[in-house]
Amino acid sequence: MTDTVTAFAPATVGNVGVGFDILGHTVEAIGDRVRITRSAMPGVRILSITGTTETLPLEAEKNTAGRALLAMVESLNLSFGMDVEIHKGIPLGSGLGGSAASAVAAVVAGNALLDAPLTKLELLKFAMEGEAVASGSVHVDNIAPSLFGGLVLTVGIDHPRTKQIPVPEAVRCVLVHPHMFLSTREARRILSGTVSLSDVVWQCANLAGFISGCYTNDLAMLRDAFTDVVIEPQRQALIPGFAAVQKAAMDLGAIGCSISGAGPTIFAWCEQSSAQSICDAMVAAFKAHGLQSDHWISVIGNDGARVIA
């Protein structure tokens, strides 16, 4: 019987522009790691948090990984407890799905300690409870891709169904993370609760076009469908230089460019040949607005969270 397990869960781009709260994809370059040791003492204890941030709550109830594991322990009525060590690779408040990745890595590690491991779909619900601690609401666009891998669409909350959508092979994702913190709660709080009928129609068409473009390898359709007419216009003021960074990417031939999750990271889908120049231009545009940034160019692989030790 294994007593200690470590799992890795990748960062994610939530929304992917047109799929607010329901569509997201993995970024293999970075992620969080969670190590769990089985304990004779029931309950969930967070022993340490290291990495990009050490200021997250150690109380299990208030921590995304801790809350997800509590949901698992309570639901399964486990007789043993879990001692948890979290290593954050994803910057806090970056829009790269850090809270989701910790919750996902936790449930994947916890699952490996069970006598009868659960399916990923069953783990999804525990991880959703963890994510809700951080953002104040249940949404799956970071949790589902981090868990399953690739570009993932989720339909439903109480009985979620997930679908991995194929991504055209030519596509690369450029991510530029300006050095600033943006609270997901705040970026959700500012959103209007109502949307005009014409914007609903436009956004539905773009989401449908985006998904069909992925299935049919149609980059021209993806380009035309990439515009988020609902969320991006409301959030872009939270990110200094957003319009300039987006324009820099689009002028160099990006397929599309928008806010990653709740921001401030901005992502662009593009073809491999233009990825480096688009990345350089986005970094320069942020710099012109006084912001240094980290950046990554990533394939959108199909690997989700997994046990690594």
Binding site for ligand HSE (CB under 6 A): 14-15, 20-21, 135, 139, 141-142, 184, 187-188, 261-262
- DSSP β-bridge partners for residue 27: 11
Cβ at position 97, least distance to ligand HSE in Å: 6
Cβ at position 135, least distance to ligand HSE in Å: 5
Q: Which is nearer to ligand HSE, 123 or 262 (CB)?
A: 262
Instruction: Please list, in sequence order, all residues whose beta carbon lies within 8 angstroms of the beta carbon of residue 75, skipping any fewer than 6 positions away.
Output: 126
Compute how many other C-beta atoms are within 10 angstroms of the C-beta atom of residue 158.
Answer: 6
Cβ at position 105, least distance to ligand HSE in Å: 16
Q: Which is nearer to ligand HSE, 18 or 73 (CB)?
A: 18
DSSP letter at 238 equals G
Instruction: Please list, in sequence order, all residues whose beta carbon lies within 8 angstroms of the beta carbon of residue 1, skipping any fewer than 6 positions away.
Output: none
End-to-end CA distance of the chain: 14
Cβ at position 137, least distance to ligand HSE in Å: 8
CB 2 within 8 A of CB 114: no
Cβ at position 159, least distance to ligand HSE in Å: 20
Token pair of 136, please? 């104040």
Cβ at position 91, least distance to ligand HSE in Å: 13
Cβ at position 131, least distance to ligand HSE in Å: 8
Question: In which order are the strands placed within the sheet that holds 293-298?
Answer: 256-259, 266-271, 171-178, 293-298
Q: Which is nearer to ligand HSE, 6 or 260 (CB)?
A: 260
Cβ burial of 206 (10 Å; 0-12, 13-18, 19+) is buried
Q: Which is nearer to ligand HSE, 32 or 141 (CB)?
A: 141
Which of 46, 42, 57 has its CA nearest to residue 99?
57
| Residue with the CB atom nearest ligand HSE in the bound state | 14
The angle formed by the CA atoms of residues 103, 144 and 157, to the nearest 5 degrees, is 95
Q: Which is nearer to ligand HSE, 23 or 252 (CB)?
A: 23
Which of 181, 176, 173 has its CA nearest to residue 288?
176
Token pair of 31, please? 């992620």
Q: Which is nearer to ligand HSE, 187 or 248 (CB)?
A: 187
Q: Which is nearer to ligand HSE, 85 or 141 (CB)?
A: 141
Compute how many other C-beta atoms are within 10 angstroms of the C-beta atom of residue 181.
Answer: 11
